[in-house]
Structure 1
Amino acid sequence: STLANLAATLCASGMMDDGILVYRTVLEIDPDNTRALAGLTKAYYALGDFHEAIVHSDMAMEFGWKPNAAMLEVLEEHRDPSEDSLP
């Protein structure tokens, strides 16, 4: 979508907070938008907010998205032990 493209461009330009707001708008319109969920995962990961990255990664993976191995490893290291592991 155009909004998802804008969010990706904002994040790629280092404007993570703005990109996150736009991705959240996409999810208000389409809660199952895998691109927005994956984009939020990457944005929060880049900001070091691993809790939010894990939350959005889990949702995106329900729709078939796969984080790269390095990201998956870092997210697993930051997962609360009381939560389920990533697949």
Structure 2
Amino acid sequence: MLTASPARSATKRATKRATNVSLAEDILTQAKALNINISQAAEAGIAQAISRKRAERWLAENHEAIESSNAFVEKHGLPLANYRMF
């Protein structure tokens, strides 16, 4: 059974607020011709942008720890590698 992710479910239940967005005229025309819900498409695109930006920030904030971990593995190998069955 497929279920919506918690973030997606929260977005669906969230209170909506009107806003103004400027779009390129050709994009808006094509979207309307294809019966695309502009609000839903914008919300989905912004949610993806938020997710990407959070991932970028997390990587930047944890870069030093990641590099340290990679250096340890490069020097000493994977911890518990002797016990791997594959």
Q: What is the TM-score of this pair, normalised by structure 2?
A: 0.23
Q: What is the TM-score of this pair, normalised by structure 1?
A: 0.23
Question: Which structure exhibits the higher relative contact order, with contacts defined as CA atoms closer than 8 Å and separated by 6 or more residues?
Answer: 1
Larger of the two Rg values belongs to structure: 2
